[in-house]
Amino acid sequence: MTNIKDRFLKYVSIDTQSDTDTGLTPSTPGQMKFSLQLVEELKEIGLQEVELDDNGYVMATVPANVEEEVPVMGFIAHVDTSPDFTGKHVNPQIIENYDGNDIVLNKEDHIIMETSDFPELKKYVGQTLITTDGTTLLGADDKAGVAEIVTAAEHLINHPEIKHGKIRIGFTPDEEIGAGADHFNVEKFGAEYAYTMDGGEIGELEYENFNAAIAKITVAGRNVHPGYAKNKMRNSIRIANQIISMLPRVETPEHTSGYEGFYHLMSFKGEVEKSELTYLIRDFKRERFEDRKKEMAHLASKVNSEYGSGTVSIEIKDQYYNMCEKVKPVIHIVDQAKKAMEEVGVTPNIKPIRGGTDGARLSFMGLPTPNIFAGGHNFHGRFEFVPLQSMEKAVEVIIKIVELSAK
């Protein structure tokens, strides 16, 4: 059986960053390249019904080895990595028997992962850490999840004494740009429920996530020579800043945690003539989520009343909803994952996802899909790392869930 470390290192060597601007699915060719490799690998280790569609979705089956009827379950991960930070030429470092001190990622550029900034490192003293070289992200989000699912599937194929029902495997593109479920064929997947292996540190088990929307605000200005601009110029940058200041200062990502929602100014492009703002709107409670969207629209209307109709236009689009609505009626699938963790020596940490996964949308498409840890930390940047032992435990959790489902 392929060592999970070697499998993971092979996966992260492929550049699979997604891209919001191409309008394609998958959005980048590297994702299709990786998916093609996964198809060949899944066939080699003995999975059945291995398929890759034109949009880059991979599906496969670990066939049942029991005669009694067992609900079909699935395990899902995404092949893309975040466009927030470069994923080209990933050069992982292997730190064996980590000593608990600061980690020099790149001596030449003086890039150091300091324990004062990342105290969670102390949890992994004595373990093997896989880090970046300080110049790229690592890609544990979600290639750790992909490696864990493939490794668990290979183990089940090689150990028929582990009894289980039919298991479906799914790998999606473009999750990082919010499109991972766009072309996922739930009916074809054919599972009653599934788990995404897309969480963070060991023990995470999540079935609540943000309700999410994106707001795009355009401010129309009027440019006039500044020496002759009195009562004529309308500076869109200044008006855009006025909008920003009208939102609650502490309801932002850097001031919130737990079940607290926020407005997140994700981008700002501005000149006197035109400015564009992009906001993420997030909240766990549906009622409060709707109120936040109304507040954004109200601010646009208020600014228009001051500067004239058409000065500010706003487009708000829902992205996904809190999967809790769809998972709670089948909460036994969360209990099953919790028990599996406990039986392999992992302490479950059930908490809300301050974000979203493919599972959020899939749950509303008829496939209840809680989220399980993949083991990584500090996703989407140069300080990303994953403990090898966390990935190994994730494999054990998958196998134990499969066992429990057949009992």
Nearest CA among 74, 88, 71, 82 for reference residue 20:
82
Distance in angstroms (rounded) separating the CA atoms of residues 283 and 154: 39
Is 53 a known active-site residue?
A: no
Q: Of 133, 141, 154, 175, which residue is the catalytic one?
A: 175
Nearest CA among 320, 335, 337, 329 for reference residue 184:
320
Distance in angstroms (rounded) separating the CA atoms of residues 196 and 333: 12
User: What is the torsion angle, in degrees rounded to the nearest 10, for the CA atoms of residue 113, residue 116, residue 117 and residue 119?
Assistant: 90
Q: Quickly count: other Cβ atoms within 10 Å of residue 24's Cβ.
A: 15
CA distances from 203 to 270, 289, 330, 350, 368 (A): 43, 28, 21, 8, 20
Contact 116, 386 (CB under 8 A): no
Is 175 a known active-site residue?
A: yes
End-to-end CA distance of the chain: 26
Q: Of 15, 41, 80, 142, which residue is the catalytic one?
A: 80
Phi then psi for 87, rounded to 5 degrees? -120, 15
Active site residues: 80, 175
